[in-house]
Amino acid sequence: MMEKRRDMNRTPAHKRPSIHTHVARRRVPAAAVLAVAVVLALAGFAAARYVMQQQQDGLATATDFYFTSDYLKESGENATYFIDPGTESFAVELRNYADDLRTTSGDISYKVETTYATATDAGAGKLVRSAQSTAKVTVTPNSEVQEFAVTATSTSPYAQTLTATFIRAKGNHYTVEDASGNTAAVLTMTCADSGGPITLDLPSGVIPDATDGRVSENTFKPVDSGVYSLVLLKADASLDLTGSGNFADTIDLNKSPAA
């Protein structure tokens, strides 16, 4: 009797839910979700790579432009230089390169404007492509003016403004440490301005250290305001260059040194 009751409580085999049926039903949606996730991931990677490539291409295009100068700098740098009070005119150089490895591949058109001064090519000019190109602009300050400004603006392919203010004053300082019998002297320059090129007017037989990359054809090129030292080599060891003085943009060691 007990056996029959147990048999009556059992569900027939063909009506029992199959665990395999549920597993199979779950596998189809899971596989589909996985496939969609893979497709989205690949699409996202491709899109990211495309965006990155576009950004790199944009940067490569933008950085292939160099409009520089020996004196003029971007407006935010507030470039200021001293020039000798007796200077009637001087040259400002415009360039289409930043250094030997970075040169603008296209032509650069520019214009030059001055305040309380005149410039030889105020108006329009062009720096030619494919090679290091320079343009020298001769600036003549108005008479009796103590301070004046020069601004150069590129008009194509991009707009960039370079500017500087010039003051007629000997606001920089130098000292020379030397003694008779020395084969070399040390010139120390304190640049209170923005560090424009310094012309070195040296006695015969005295040359700057040729291994110093800041010197070119007796012109010392500081990068900014600050204190700089330069070794001067002497062919005549008996020559004593000891002295000091103020300067604007030229150091003349042919004159009697100041104590």
Q: In what order do the strands lie in the sheet with 226-234?
A: 206-208, 226-234, 184-191, 172-177, 243-247
Whether the Cβ atoms of residue 192 and residue 171 lie closer than 8 Å to each other: yes
Give the model's pLDDT for residue 41. Answer: 53
Nearest to 236 by CA among 210, 257, 206, 211: 206
What lies within 8 Å, CB to CB, of 66 at 6+ separation is 95, 96, 97, 98, 102, 103, 104
Per-residue CA distances from 75 to 152, 161, 212, 240, 248 (Å): 11, 7, 30, 43, 22
Angle among Cα 189, 147, 173 to the nearest 5 degrees reads 15
Q: Is 1 helix (H, G, I), strand (E, B) or coil?
A: coil
Structure tokens at 76: 């935010």
> CA 193 to CA 178: how far, in whole Å?
26
Q: What is the CA radius of gyration of the chain?
A: 37
Q: How many CB atoms lie within 10 A of CB 146?
A: 11
- Each residue's pLDDT tens digit in the chain (259 positions)? 444 444 545 555 555 555 454 444 445 565 555 555 554 555 554 444 444 444 444 444 445 899 999 999 999 999 999 999 999 999 999 999 998 899 998 999 999 999 999 998 766 789 998 789 999 999 999 998 999 999 999 999 999 999 999 999 999 999 999 999 999 999 999 999 999 999 999 999 999 999 999 999 899 999 999 999 999 999 999 999 999 999 999 999 997 544 4
Give the model's pLDDT for residue 2. Answer: 47
Strand partners, 69: 94
